[in-house]
Amino acid sequence: MTSITRRRRSKGPDTRAAVEDAITDAMTRLLTSGHTFTSVSVEDLAKESGIARSTFYMHFRDKGELVRRLMKRVTQELVGATNVWFEHEHPEQRVVLHQALKSISQVYIKYQAIMLAVSETSAYDPDVAAMFKETMMHLMANMRAVLKGGQKAGWANADASPEVADALTWMVERCCLQLLTVQKPAQRERMIEALTHVMSRALYA
């Protein structure tokens, strides 16, 4: 399949990717400049991308697919950030947890336009919602695993149920989103510290 798709008949070396980058870049630009994802029409997007409206539909089924693809890019990086903690040899150290939460928040900040678009869209687009849910499930599973491992190793609180891991995961997600509405780095740091506090208290024995 790939080779067929990539046989670059006509046009430049990698037109397909180039156009799609132009579109995703345009969307990111529009979101960054204050527009809501919902408020950006396909026509707006086409204009900003410098393409015809119908061309958009040659690359994406609808606006939802655009978000889904943007999300895919971010998800990997987000999971990577969580692994700072999940796969660390010493997850029982508070500094490690704090650093992981900082990394996670940095992913949110780096891709804030996308993160906000995802949380906006997943509220009403079933496909985006499913994808978002899947990511959350993945993170919750990891969190549960760390907790279980910690309980075996003795550093984690034996009273903490798997549902505690779920609750903490949701908390981190929501708070990172809230973090984006805050500008001052000092305030952001305070919020990360608060997350560290709640998590370490809930999990550590």
Tell me if 65 sits within 8 A of 88, measured CB to CB. no
Question: Rule CB under 7 A: which of 46-105 touch DNA?
Answer: 50-55, 57-59, 61-63
Tokens 């046009």 correspond to what residue? 11
Rule CB under 8 A: choose which of 51, 141, 171, 180 binds a second copy.
171
What, of DNA, a second copy, none, does residue 123 touch, CB below 5 to 8 Å by kind? Answer: a second copy
CA atoms within a 13 Å half-sphere pointing along the CA-CB vector of 85: 29
Rule CB under 8 A: choose which of 159, 183, 184, 185 binds a second copy.
159
- φ, ψ of residue 157 in degrees (nearest 5): -60, 120
- φ, ψ of residue 128 in degrees (nearest 5): -65, -40
User: In one letter, which amino acid is 156?
Assistant: A
160 lies in the binding site for a second copy (CB under 8 A): yes
166 lies in the binding site for a second copy (CB under 8 A): yes
The residue among 147, 176, 139 whose CA lies nearest residue 164 is 147
12 lies in the binding site for DNA (CB under 7 A): yes
Binding site for a second copy (CB under 8 A): 36-38, 119-124, 157, 159-161, 163-164, 166-168, 170-171, 173-175, 178, 190-191, 193-195, 197-198, 201-202
